[in-house]
Amino acid sequence: METFQEYLASWPLDRRDEGAQRANGKSVPALLERESLRPEDFLTLLSPVAADYLEAMAQRAHELTLRYFGRAVNIFTPLYISDVCTNQCRYCGFNAKNPQKRRHLSVDEAVAEAAFIADRGFQHILLLTGDARKLSSPEYIAAVVRRIKARFASVGIEVYSMTTAEYASLVAVGVDSMTMFQETYSPELYAWLHPVGPKHDYGFRLNAPQRAAEGGMRSVGVGALLGLETFVRDAFATGLHAWWLQRHYPGVDVSVSIPRICPHEGNFAVQHTVDDRTFVQYVTALRCFLPRAGITCSSRESAFMRDHLVPLGVTRVSAGVSTVVGGRATQDMHNPGQFEITDRRSLPEMIASLSGIGYQAVLKDWEDPAESSLGSSSLCAI
Ligand code: SF4
């Protein structure tokens, strides 16, 4: 079967650049009338000329979001269980070269942190680790999941790239979703940004969401870290990745995350800052191209921006966020975390904020059928 890496080769960087340069802004209103868009159309919506039609794009994105998601917004919270990392990503506070104290939670400590989160009402949790396969092994992650699964409807992972068998082994213990940030979809830039370590392998990371889908993951998320590459190149490739996954794995829930790079420990100079209007253009273009895809917006963004983006397409937000390992129950604030949080709202504050703009916070939108209390009892009363 074709891999996404092979498909993306048909969209090299110069084709993406030329497509955006040649885009005709006057075609945008007609594109917004269409029921489905081609990748070429998505590229037009991301192009600089489409910025003149931002209000029309916002109206269409809002209409599509209401049609497919109503006013429901899913809430989750991340739990960092290890910041030990063998990679040296040039833009990351957890970079192995950063001389900071590291922490790797024992399974018992991770369970205590998860219990603290569950006690506050969260039903969807996302486990994160650095890339240190020997320490934060799939077996270690599985051991944590086995102990916490009963407290959560959904357990997701945002960790290093795994094999299909490893993803399947985590699905077997209760992981139902994975997110993989490609960071950038430009191979040469990727190689420079990730000079050493297992993450240096661009193709293995690029095809990880596909392997997760093959491994039985219910939900798969992709994303680029905006600001590393020129906007159009990575915004287009991210949407293309989600579109391709939807077409090849129609039974998998495919979503897109939209992180913009944050200040962090170190001295990485952001080359391609994405301003707020371009960021809004990205969300509206994604919604028009991928009407049924979830869009996740993290606490990197401000409360104002997140509240503004919900009506335009964002369907999933985090709350009560700490990017520090052991930042809740064990209160070990040993380092400043992977990146700076901008939106610090707690779960009650997020629920109230969403309600204030006419939206409903959804804490649980999925349940493992294997664990349903209805089991095999008769359901058809007719
Ligand atoms: S981005 Fe991830 S893999 Fe890279 S240094 Fe940071 S924690 Fe490690």
CA–centroid distance, residue 5 to ligand 1 (Å): 22
CA–centroid distance, residue 236 to ligand 1 (Å): 23
Half-sphere exposure of 185 (CA within 13 A, CB side): 31
**Residue 350, Cβ density class (10 Å: 0-12 exposed, 13-18 middle, ≥19 buried):** buried
For a pocket test of ligand 1, which of 86, 87, 129 has the largest count of ligand atoms closer than 8 A to its C-beta?
A: 87
Q: What is the pLDDT of residues 275-328, one digit of tens each?
A: 999 999 999 999 999 999 999 999 999 999 999 999 999 999 999 998 889 878
CA–centroid distance, residue 77 to ligand 1 (Å): 19
Query: Residues 153-161: what's their mean pLDDT?
Result: 98
Residue 135's pLDDT is 96
Contact 320, 346 (CB under 8 A): yes
Q: Which atom of ligand 1 is nearest to the CA of 88?
A: 5
Q: What is the DSSP pairing of strand 360-362 with strand 72-80?
A: parallel
Q: What is the pLDDT of residues 332-349, one digit of tens each?
A: 555 656 567 788 999 999
Query: Residues 22-43: what's their mean pLDDT?
Result: 97
Provide the whole-model pTM.
Answer: 0.95
Q: What is the pLDDT of residues 184-217, one digit of tens each?
A: 999 999 999 999 999 999 999 999 999 999 999 9
Is residue 94 within 6 Å of ligand 1 at its C-beta? yes
Contact 81, 369 (CB under 8 A): no
Q: What is the pLDDT of residues 107-144, one digit of tens each?
A: 999 999 999 999 999 999 999 999 999 999 999 999 99
Name the residue at shortest CA distance from atom 2 of ligand 1. Answer: 130
Name the residue at shortest CA distance from atom 4 of ligand 1. Answer: 89
- Per-residue pLDDT at 86 exceeds 90: yes
For a pocket test of ligand 1, which of 83, 92, 196, 202 has the largest count of ligand atoms closer than 8 A to its C-beta?
A: 92
Which CATH architecture fits 4-9+35-365?
Answer: Alpha-Beta Barrel (3.20)
Domain layout of the chain by residue ranges: 4-9+35-365
Is residue 87 within 6 Å of ligand 1 at its C-beta? yes
Q: 139-146: which pairs have CB atoms within 8 A and are 24 or more residues apart?
A: 140/107, 141/170, 141/175, 142/169, 142/170, 142/173, 143/107, 144/81, 144/107, 144/110, 144/111, 144/114, 145/170, 145/173, 145/174, 145/175, 146/173, 146/174
